[in-house]
């Protein structure tokens, strides 16, 4: 509404100056007043049309145009003042005005072109000066596509342990939409889950979610989402929230702080020390011979030595070591009571006699004092 009012005032002001110019022209009979007025109004309308159809203007380009014109006019005035005595003596006044006009056009063009081409390297004009940011208060958390699809960020945010605003860049939202529109069913479900998580975050009380639409000069020409995310987080003075291992490394190399939800989840898991007992159900064989693998309720992998012979059973083991990585935590242990391994089977076969004559031989569990006639033991024996 305000912008429409400003445009209307602009047209009225241009029409007023056009009427004044027509009066001056008609008084001195310099040109056709009607043609002059129509030309001025057409120029104003064309300018408004260009303004309406280019709503997303980059501040760097606009600043370069404005300061280029200002510097060009200033230099033109200086040159005119320096050359005026010579030109007035050598040339007619009308020719002097024409030369001054062309000089102004050329100098303004050179200034604007120079500023547009060197705005990222030539930083002495105020709009292009880089000041070190002093971030005060909470620093925003810039969300990655992977962490939005994962969904655990919503659970963490709803616990009220995060008081920083969550920033979702427009290009991340576009990537989620493209994944949700994919022909692959799995990708489509992942994209829709990510959109549902964002909707859930926006509806949650006490959680501030911002959709970042602004374009910054550093993002020009960069197509890769990970690189754009790091640059935006650095520009906002925030942190990147991700599950992507590669993005984690890229951000740290460029001096941007990263919050990895996998590391956060691992930090929240209960601590298991070597020597402590643990009960787990073994589900599959491990990579090494005789190993069995199971999982705790929080997803921690447990590797049991000689556990391959107890698949599908709940076993009690003693923790021998714990391995912590960015991908998760692995617990290694030894089963307290050895299962029926190959060695135990062999002992059982030796102990079980197969010949009829060997049935009377005392086995491992028999007493050597047992009677051979099979009757009841005598008193005193």
pLDDT in tens, 51-74: 787 766 666 677 777 787 888 888
Backbone angles phi, psi at 92, to 5 degrees: -70, 155
CATH of domain 141-267: 3.40.50.1010
pLDDT at position 57: 64
Helices (H), 91-169: 93-118, 145-150, 152-158
- pLDDT tens for 308-350 read 888 998 999 999 988 876 666 788 999 886 444 443 333 333 3
Average pLDDT, the chain: 75
CA proximity to 239, closest of 263, 221, 274, 220: 263
Residue 127 pLDDT more than 60? no
- Give the list of residues 6+ apart from residue 100 with CB closer than 8 angstroms, or none: 76, 80
Helices 2-28 and 33-52 sit at what angle, rounded to 10 degrees? Answer: 160
Q: Which residue has the higher pLDDT, 369 or 270?
A: 270
Domain map of the chain by residue range? 10-54, 56-131, 141-267, 271-335
Q: Above pLDDT 70, what percent of the chain? A: 76
Q: Given pLDDT bands bounded at 50, 70 and 90, which one contains residue 119? A: low
pLDDT at 29: 67
pLDDT at 292: 92
In this predicted structure, what is the pLDDT of residue 196? 92
d(CA 199, CA 211): 12
pLDDT number for residue 294: 92
Which fold would CATH assign to domain 271-335?
A: OB fold (Dihydrolipoamide Acetyltransferase, E2P) (2.40.50)
Q: What is the pLDDT of residues 193-251, one digit of tens each?
A: 989 999 998 888 888 888 887 667 677 777 788 888 888 888 888 888 888 888 888 88
- What are the pLDDT digits (tens) for 75-115? 888 888 888 777 777 776 666 677 777 788 788 778 777 77
| Segment 265-283, tens digit of pLDDT | 777 777 788 888 988 999 9
């Amino acid at each position: 509404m305000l912008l429409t009012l400003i445009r209307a005032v602009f047209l009225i002001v241009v029409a007023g100056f056009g009427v004044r110019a027509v009066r001056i022209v008609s008084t001195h009979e310099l040109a056709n007043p009607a043609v002059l007025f129509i030309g001025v109004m057409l120029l104003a309308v064309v300018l408004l049309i260009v303004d309406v159809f280019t709503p997303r203007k980059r501040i760097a380009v606009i600043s370069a145009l404005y300061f280029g014109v200002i510097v060009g006019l200033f230099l033109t005035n200086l040159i005119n003042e320096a050359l005026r005595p010579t030109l007035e003596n050598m040339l007619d006044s009308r020719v002097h005005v024409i030369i001054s006009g062309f000089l102004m056009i050329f100098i303004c063009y050179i200034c604007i072109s120079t500023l547009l081409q060197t705005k990222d390297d030539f930083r002495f004009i105020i709009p292009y000066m880089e000041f070190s940011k002093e971030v005060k208060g909470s620093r925003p958390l810039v969300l990655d596509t992977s962490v939005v699809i994962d969904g655990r960020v919503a659970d963490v945010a709803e616990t009220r342990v995060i008081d920083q605003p969550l920033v979702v860049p427009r290009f991340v939202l576009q990537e989620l939409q493209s994944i949700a529109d994919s022909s692959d069913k799995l990708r489509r479900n992942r994209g829709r889950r990510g959109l549902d998580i964002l909707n859930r975050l926006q509806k949650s009380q006490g959680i501030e979610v911002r959709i970042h639409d602004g374009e910054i000069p550093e993002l020009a020409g960069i197509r890769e989402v990970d690189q754009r995310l790091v640059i935006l987080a650095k520009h906002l003075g925030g942190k990147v929230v991700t599950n992507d291992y590669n993005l984690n490394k890229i951000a740290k190399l460029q001096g941007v702080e990263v919050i990895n939800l996998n590391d956060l989840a691992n930090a929240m898991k209960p601590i298991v020390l070597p020597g402590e007992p643990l009960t787990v159900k073994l589900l599959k064989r491990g990579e090494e011979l005789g190993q069995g693998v199971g999982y705790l309720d929080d997803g921690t992998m447990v590797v049991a030595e000689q556990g391959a012979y107890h698949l599908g059973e709940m076993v009690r083991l003693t923790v021998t070591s714990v391995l912590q990585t960015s991908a998760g935590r692995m617990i290694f242990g030894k089963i307290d009571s050895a299962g029926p391994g190959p060695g135990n089977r062999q002992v059982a076969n030796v102990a079980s006699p197969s010949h009829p004559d060997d049935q009377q031989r005392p086995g491992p569990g028999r007493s050597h004092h047992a009677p051979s006639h099979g009757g009841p033991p005598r008193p005193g024996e």
